[in-house]
Amino acid sequence: MSSPHKPLVYIISAPSGSGKSTLVNELLKKVTDLEFSISYTTRAPRGSEINGRQYYFVSRVDFEKMIQQGAFLEHAEVFGNYYGTARRFLHDAEQHGRDLLLDIDVQGAKQIQDKLPDAVSIFILPPDRTTLEERLRKRSEDSDEVIDRRLDTATREIENYPRYNYILVNDQLEDSIKLLRAVVRGERLLRSGRPLSEDEAKIVALGDCCRLANVGDRLQRILDSFQPPADSGPR
């Protein structure tokens, strides 16, 4: 009897407005055998969101019952609402012989990394703070006050970048999709333990461009853009 499949767990985090949802949706279209964990949340649905598609929308009382029952792999409170990943998704991926993709914030990511140290973590960043602000305003979902709060939160969130295996700068969408796909496929190939073909080695090499150790200069420019300008004093 064959042993159960051990799912490869991918964590994707990003500041709000970085384009994470678009990248995740495209990834799921292009990579097979990858299950997406739909988070539970206590926030109200937005726009055309449907229960069970973007999120499972539940009451605060029900969410707290699930916490007490140990139903979550991770959970966190963000902007006054709970978000959480149910343990059952990991079990389902194992039963179906598939890998698992988690779209979670930095708080949840830390909890998963502590519990599943083999998980592959990917942090998506905007090219700079100005671009992030433009994207948030273009969405037209939030008030100026909420946008300012999201930008402040983003500044704090990006300080967590050293905890992630990969940093993907979402500048040009098509390039970002190719890179994300290469990271996911490359990790599968590396963990297969078999010799790689020339084409497979190219996939791994493309994904390696996003490894934390390989994004130093560009990453520093992004980090700098989130810092307040230094006071240059009187001229």
Domain ranges of the chain: 9-37+101-225
Q: Which residues contact 21 (CB under 8 A, 6 or more apart)?
A: 103
Residues 26, 136: contact at Cβ < 8 Å? no
The CATH code of the domain at 9-37+101-225 is 3.40.50.300
Question: What is the model's pTM?
Answer: 0.89
The CA distances from residue 164 to 14, 46, 106, 199, in Å, are 11, 29, 10, 26
Residues 156, 102: contact at Cβ < 8 Å? no
C-alpha closest to that of 168 among 121, 133, 205: 121
Helical packing angle, 173-192 and 20-30, nearest 10°: 50
Estimate to the nearest angstrom the gap between the alpha carbon of 103 and the chain centroid.
Answer: 5
Task: Give, as one character, the DSSP assignment of residue 195.
Answer: P
Sheet order of strands, 120-125 included: 34-37, 99-103, 9-13, 120-125, 166-169
Residue 4 confidence class, pLDDT cut points 50, 70, 90: low
Interval 164-179: pLDDT, tens: 999 999 999 999 999 9
What does residue 190 show for φ and ψ, rounded to 5 degrees? Answer: -65, -35
Interval 67-115: pLDDT, tens: 999 999 999 888 889 999 999 999 999 999 999 999 998 989 999 999 9
